[in-house]
Amino acid sequence: MPSKTPVVDIHSHLYPPAYISLLESRTSIPYITTIANSRRLVNRVGQSGKPLMPILYDISTKLAFMNRHGIDISIISLGNPWLDFLPPDIAASTAASINDATNALCAAHPGRLFCFAALPLSAPRAALLAEISRVATLSHVRGVVMGSAGLGDAGKGLDDPDMLPVYEELERQRLPVFLHPNYGLPAEQWGPCCADYGQVPALALGFTMETTIAFSRVFLAGMFDKVPELTFILSHGGGTLPFLAGRIESCIEHDRTWKENGRLSERKKTLWQVLKKNVILDGVVFDKVGMRAAVDVVGVERVMFGTDHPFFVPLEETELWPCMVRNRDAARDAVGEGDEYEMIMGGNAVRLLDLK
């Protein structure tokens, strides 16, 4: 389908070679290890990992995917679990070298690549804040990617009051947070047949609930009253937030605790208002129902196409990957083929992330 504006993929991961070397040097998850004679990248607990193939780390393979699928620009982000696991003393220097390497990769392909930087969330606060202000000066950085753990993998989540200085610095530097899941829900959740269900429990259910819960906690903690200009880009169409926002608001309105402790009258914005002002949703939802919900909740001017490449590799050889076709068709089926489709497929990203 011809497109007047560039097609922009805002959800596209890469493990740069420096990160691959880091995982090669480790002996516990996340790491690269040999399982049944194959080198595998294991990035989450309870997972047998992915074969260590060029799609995970090689920029030419990324560009070939883009060319084959008509993607003009990709915003690349480090894949999960980012840098959450790093010991505090090396977190900032490791982040700086990985962010510099990723920015250089983007600069080497002008007009094709931008990136979300990875934060050293386990680093001492001053070093973490310094890396935020430093990445804001890098030519191709357009935001930061973040998981749900908060300050390091043993963090207290994104509603931790100690996250406020991080949000304040991101707001000051006008860097949006690309919130992406990694940790899922506790394994007991899935019952004894879990293995038979393949990746559905972890990726379709656990990931989306993780994003929903993590962002809801940021909202419930009143963070957007303190950082009113901060933007979150929520992965996978916001998890289940478009569907649950009404129920969350209703629970607040009917809750004596909120009324009696004054939080109900003191809060400046409802969840609906935060969704419209502070949230962008990616369109990695694979169906028009989720895409339509995303558009209805944040507005068509705040939904941005994505593929999730290099994950969701087709099981059989196909001309185009379903993560491209399904998410593109979902946008067209949700809003038709006119201007709104162009906005989702790239116009919104060009405008909101300043990709000129």
CA distance 179 to 213: 11
Of 30, 79, 143, 239, which one interacts with ligand 5CU (CB under 6 A)? 79
CB 12 within 8 A of CB 72: no
Interface characters, 86-125, with ligand 5CU (x: CB under 6 A): ----------------------------------------
185's CB contacts (< 8 A; 6+ apart) are 205, 206, 209, 210
Tokens standing for residue 19: 């990160």
SS3 state of residue 90: helix
Q: How far is the CB of 29 from ligand 5CU (least distance, A)?
A: 12
> Which one, 69 or 267, has the nearer CB to ligand 5CU?
69
Looking up tokens 């829900």, which residue turns up? 185
Half-sphere exposure of residue 47: CA atoms within 13 angstroms, side-chain side: 24
Of 12, 33, 80, 148, which one interacts with ligand 5CU (CB under 6 A)? 80
Q: How far is the CB of 237 from ligand 5CU (least distance, A)?
A: 12
The answer to the question of residue 282 lying near ligand 5CU (CB under 6 A) is no
Q: How far is the CB of 7 from ligand 5CU (least distance, A)?
A: 19
CB 114 within 8 A of CB 122: no
Interface characters, 159-198, with ligand 5CU (x: CB under 6 A): ----------------------------------------
Tokens standing for residue 297: 């909740």
The answer to the question of residue 43 lying near ligand 5CU (CB under 6 A) is yes
The answer to the question of residue 347 lying near ligand 5CU (CB under 6 A) is no
CB 142 within 8 A of CB 102: no
> Which one, 14 or 223, has the nearer CB to ligand 5CU?
14
CB 16 within 8 A of CB 310: no
The answer to the question of residue 203 lying near ligand 5CU (CB under 6 A) is yes
Q: How far is the CB of 215 from ligand 5CU (least distance, A)?
A: 16
Q: Measuring CA to CA, which residue among 344, 241, 258, 337 is closest to residue 293?
A: 241
Q: How far is the CB of 49 from ligand 5CU (least distance, A)?
A: 9
Q: Measuring CA to CA, which residue among 282, 292, 251, 289 is closest to residue 345?
A: 282
Q: How far is the CB of 165 from ligand 5CU (least distance, A)?
A: 27
105-129 per-residue burial string, b: 16 or more CB within 10 A, e: under 16: bbeebeebbbbbbbbbbbbeeebbb
The answer to the question of residue 201 lying near ligand 5CU (CB under 6 A) is no
SS3 state of residue 296: helix
Residue 193 per-residue DSSP state: T
> Which one, 169 or 282, has the nearer CB to ligand 5CU?
282
> Which one, 131 or 308, has the nearer CB to ligand 5CU?
308
List interacting residues with ligand 5CU (CB under 6 A).
13, 43, 79-80, 203, 308, 311
